Every structure is written in C-alpha cells, then in structure tokens.
Amino acid sequence: MRIDLYIAFVIVGTVLLAGCERNGETLAKIDGDPVTRAEFDAYLEFKRLPAENEERRARLLEQYVERAALAAAVEEAIEDSDTIDRDLLEAELAEFRKEMLISRYFDRYLADKVTDDAVANYYNANAEEFEQRQVKVAHILLRTSRNMGEEERQAKLTTAQEAHSKLRAGADFAELAADYSEDKISGKKGGDLGWLKEGSIDPKFSETVFNMAPGAISEPIETPFGFHVVKLIEGPVVAKRPLEAVKGDIRYQLRNEAREAELQRLLSSVKVEKE
C-alpha cells in the first residue's frame, strides 16, 4: 500500500484504494480493487489492535473494509464538488506524510544507534559525570523569616550561639537538637539530616559542611531557613550513581545528539534553492 494512501487513511479516516499494486492474499475487493492480507495486517499493527482469534479478526476486517468502501464512495462523490477543500486536504496529507516519514525514520535510526551497550559505554567512559560528593550531617535550626524584625532575629542568633557554646563545653549534640532545634522532624532524630549531596542545599550551608572534618561542629551559619549549628557526622565521600538510576538520562542525551547529527547529515545531502 502506498504510504500517501496510508497517511490519508490516518488523517481523514479513508483509504484511497484505486491504482495501487498490492501483493499477497486478497481478503476482499472494493469496486474490483483488492484488500490484501499484508495491507490489513499493517493496519492492525499501526492501530495496535490485537487479533487474537479469528472471530475478532473477522470483525476488525469487516470494519476496515467498510471504512475503505466509504472512503472510496466519498472520494468519488467529491470529485466534482466543493464539499471539501481539496487543496487544504492535500496540504494536510502532505504535511502528515512528512511527519510520519521523519518520525518513523528516526525511530528506527535511533533504536539501532542508541543501544543498551552504547548507554553502558557512555556511563563507563564518563564516570566523573555520575560521581557526587556527599556528607552526613546533623543540625540545630533556629528558624527565621523575611517578616521577622531585627530584634527577634537577634534573639534567634543568640539562642543558636547559646547552643553552640554548650556543645563546645561538651554537651551532647542529639540532646541539644531535641531541646533547641525548631526543625522538629530532624530534632527527634538528634538533628540527623542524613546524607546530603553537594549542590543540593543552600550554598553557604554546603560550603561550610563540605569543608569540615568529621565530628566538627560549626559556628552558627545563616541561610534563608534560619540559623544552623551543624555537626559533620561522616564524609565528605564520593558516591557514584548506579547505571540503573541514570541510564534514562544518558539514553535521552545520546538520542538527542545522534538525532541532531543525522538531521544535519540528511539536510546537507539535499540541495535547496530559494527563488
């Protein structure tokens, strides 16, 4: 079945059958033109219609032939009428044909080009892209807000400094976090925030904790959330994200790069002249 007739069926729900050469078993005829098994199977595949038994297949064939017959009747009916803007119809079909040609070509091209092996090779060859420094930290937070007055803000800072002084005197961090911290979720866990990735937290907080030694406790530092007294529990360590976690991103990147390269190659193979 010619691709322009195939596209016409998709766009306007018709199949232009006259004048096409077909091979394969004939399942039906419309005004003498055969509907072949190959044509019908291609339709089922395109529409993703399962024909798991003969009864369903026969029903789908009946529907398919009926639509094809209607298309043939409409095609004949509009030949000498202005019921349909034929120029507009042809433009729509031509544009959809281009879309389908390009889409199908790149689907097949990229499937062959960007394989699982290509993704794994990229991952292994660019290991540093998937490595990230992490630290395990705990904090005591005294919250501030934009609407807070300077006096109240200073009171929060004073409380943070008080907690810091007690820590320097040997107080237990977990106990002070439970007593002082206004981050109640982490406070219940001794201030533990778990593992934090570099760049995923406030820049000032990140700069501080990634330059601390394990076991060290920071002076109060201010972020948009408030004043933090931070303890570095463990790290910094370098962790590599597993292939399973990043293969989707790698595949997307490689497909875009391969598509762009092939797009430019194809365009350069065609001579375009503008009048």
Instruction: For 201-214, write each residue's pLDDT tens digit.
Output: 899 999 999 999 99
Question: What average pLDDT does this structure show over 164-190?
Answer: 96
At 77, the pLDDT band (50, 70, 90 cuts) reads confident
At 81, the pLDDT band (50, 70, 90 cuts) reads low
What percent of the chain shows pLDDT beyond 90?
69
Task: Report pLDDT for 80.
Answer: 65
Sequence length of the chain is 275
At 168, the pLDDT band (50, 70, 90 cuts) reads very high
- Taking the C-alpha atoms of residue 174 and residue 43, their distance in angstroms, rounded to an integer, is 67
Identify the residue with better confidence: 88 or 106: 106
Backbone angles phi, psi at 237, to 5 degrees: -130, 155
For domain 131-240, give its CATH number from 3.30.950.10, 3.40.640.10, 3.10.50.40, 3.20.20.70.
3.10.50.40
Tell whether the model's pLDDT for residue 6 goes beyond 50.
no
Instruction: Give residue limits of the domains in the chain.
Output: 3-96, 131-240
Mean model confidence pLDDT for the chain: 88
Instruction: For 210-267, write each residue's pLDDT tens digit.
Output: 999 999 999 999 999 999 999 999 989 998 889 999 999 999 999 999 999 999 999 9
**Strands ordered across the beta sheet of 192-197:** 192-197, 131-143, 226-240, 221-223
Instruction: For 140-157, write each residue's pLDDT tens digit.
Output: 999 999 999 999 999 999
- Taking the C-alpha atoms of residue 238 and residue 231, their distance in angstroms, rounded to an integer, is 19
With 0.85 as the threshold, say if the pTM is over it.
no
Tell whether the model's pLDDT for residue 84 goes beyond 90.
no
Question: What average pLDDT does this structure show over 17-35?
Answer: 70
Tell whether the model's pLDDT for residue 51 goes beyond 90.
no
Tell whether the model's pLDDT for residue 104 goes beyond 60.
yes
Task: Report pLDDT for 116.
Answer: 94
Instruction: For 107-152, write each residue's pLDDT tens digit.
Output: 999 998 999 999 999 999 998 899 889 999 999 999 999 999 999 9
The residue type of 119 is: V
Task: Report pLDDT for 19.
Answer: 33
What percent of the chain shows pLDDT beyond 70?
90
Contact (Cβ atoms closer than 8 angstroms) between residue 223 and residue 86: no
Q: Which of 44-58, 138-152, 171-185 has the lowest mean pLDDT?
A: 44-58
Tell whether the model's pLDDT for residue 21 goes beyond 50.
no
Q: Looking at beta carbons, which pairs linking 97-104 to residues 24 or more positions away fall under 8 Å?
A: 97/3, 97/4, 97/7, 100/3, 100/7, 100/10, 101/3
